[in-house]
């Protein structure tokens, strides 16, 4: 059985030192503020990034291009190893498509190697949770094809539930209407959203106030998680750690475990969701 390397991209919102610790290869997406300076994800301190957003600066993002993926994959293939890539949802980004383009080129060259790409249809630490499970499966001795099947069988069970502090960022990306964003600002209406089976962001409900949005997300976890009392879940936050801890406390109060990983919403996803984003990811009966 050939050795293989699990790979991903920064859409997973797992910090780079953790990915390296897990033995996962990756490429970073990029972003730029209105000064036009291009930054790769991870090059700017999180507090600076979110501070600039709170000050009113607008950040625009770019997917990883196929050439960058080709270089990443080929480095491993040349060593005689196979590649299992777990990518950012194609419903949100072109990154997974770029990875598949690179893989198609390399499959014609490295005909004796396996190069498997999976569009996780997931984002942020939902994608990160999939990477985590793939790493654990590999540790258990699973080969690349067994791990591929394990992950593909999991994809429609990875639930993403999140809310945002300010709807203006989702309005810029066309996720909510200008009227909804205005009403949210005036009336304190907070959307509770999820990622659907096709990897798109979908508005599921509206609640009044931040506290109620956190309670609604915790309730969804207890109602739909495969194992609400003992399951693994990740939380991502857009520079609002106290709210992330509050969400964890709500789940623990209902009998759930402590959170396995609390991580930042990264700079690329945060460019579109804004400061104050809070998201919960776990395995559920369905998305």
Report how far residue 201's alpha carbon sits from residue 134's, in angstroms, rounded to the nearest whole number: 24
- pLDDT, one tens digit per residue, over 1-57 is 679 999 999 999 999 999 999 999 999 999 999 999 999 998 999 999 999 999 999
- pLDDT, one tens digit per residue, over 222-260 is 999 999 999 999 999 999 999 999 999 999 999 999 999
- pLDDT, one tens digit per residue, over 119-145 is 999 999 999 999 999 999 999 999 999
Reduced to 3 states, what is the DSSP secondary structure of residue 213? helix
Report how far residue 11's alpha carbon sits from residue 72's, in angstroms, rounded to the nearest whole number: 16
In this predicted structure, the answer to whether residue 181 has a pLDDT above a threshold of 70 is no
* % residues pLDDT > 70 (the chain): 93
Angle between helices 241-253 and 210-224 (to 10 degrees): 40
- pLDDT, one tens digit per residue, over 207-221 is 888 899 999 999 999
Q: Are 244 and 271 in contact (CB under 8 A)?
A: no
Strand ranges across the sheet with 158-163:
201-208, 189-195, 158-163, 278-283, 233-237, 261-264
Q: Are 167 and 213 in contact (CB under 8 A)?
A: no
Report how far residue 50's alpha carbon sits from residue 236's, in angstroms, rounded to the nearest whole number: 14
Would you place residue 194 in the very low, low, confident or very high pLDDT band (cuts 50, 70, 90)? confident
Domains defined along the chain, listed by start = 4-155 (3.40.50.10170), 157-283 (3.30.1180.10)
Question: 225: which DSSP letter?
Answer: B
Name beta bridge partners: 279: 162, 236
Mean pLDDT, the chain, whole residue set? 92
pLDDT on residue 176: 52
Query: pTM for the whole thing?
Result: 0.92
Q: What is the dihedral of CA 260, 265, 269, 273, to 10 degrees?
A: 120
Would you place residue 186 in the very low, low, confident or very high pLDDT band (cuts 50, 70, 90)? very low
């Amino acid at each position: 059985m050939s050795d293989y390397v699990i790979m991903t991209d920064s859409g997973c919102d797992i910090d780079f030192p953790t990915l390296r610790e897990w033995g996962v290869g990756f490429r970073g997406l990029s972003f730029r503020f209105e000064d036009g300076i291009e930054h790769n994800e991870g090059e700017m301190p999180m507090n600076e990034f979110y501070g600039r957003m709170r000050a009113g600066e607008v950040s625009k993002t770019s997917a990883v291009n196929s050439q960058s993926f080709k270089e990443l994959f080929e480095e491993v293939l040349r060593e005689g190893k196979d590649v299992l890539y777990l990518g950012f949802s194609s419903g949100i980004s072109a990154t997974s498509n770029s990875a598949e383009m690179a893989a198609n080129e390399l499959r014609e060259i490295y005909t004796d190697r396996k190069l498997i790409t999976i569009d996780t249809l997931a984002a942020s630490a939902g994608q990160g949770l999939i990477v985590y499970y793939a790493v654990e499966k590999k540790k258990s001795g699973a080969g690349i094809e067994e791990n591929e099947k394990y992950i593909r069988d999991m994809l429609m069970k990875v639930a993403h539930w999140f809310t945002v502090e300010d709807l203006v960022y989702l309005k810029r990306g066309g996720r909510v209407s200008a009227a909804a964003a205005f009403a949210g600002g005036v009336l304190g209406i907070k959307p509770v959203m999820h990622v659907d089976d096709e990897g798109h962001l979908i508005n599921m409900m509206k609640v009044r106030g931040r506290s109620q949005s956190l309670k609604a997300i915790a309730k969804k976890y207890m109602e739909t998680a495969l194992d609400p009392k003992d399951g693994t879940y990740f939380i991502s936050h857009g520079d609002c750690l106290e709210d992330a801890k509050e969400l964890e406390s709500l789940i623990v109060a209902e009998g759930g475990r402590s959170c396995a990983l609390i991580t930042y919403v990264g700079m690329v996803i945060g460019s579109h969701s804004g400061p104050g984003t809070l998201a919960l990811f776990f395995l559920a009966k369905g998305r």
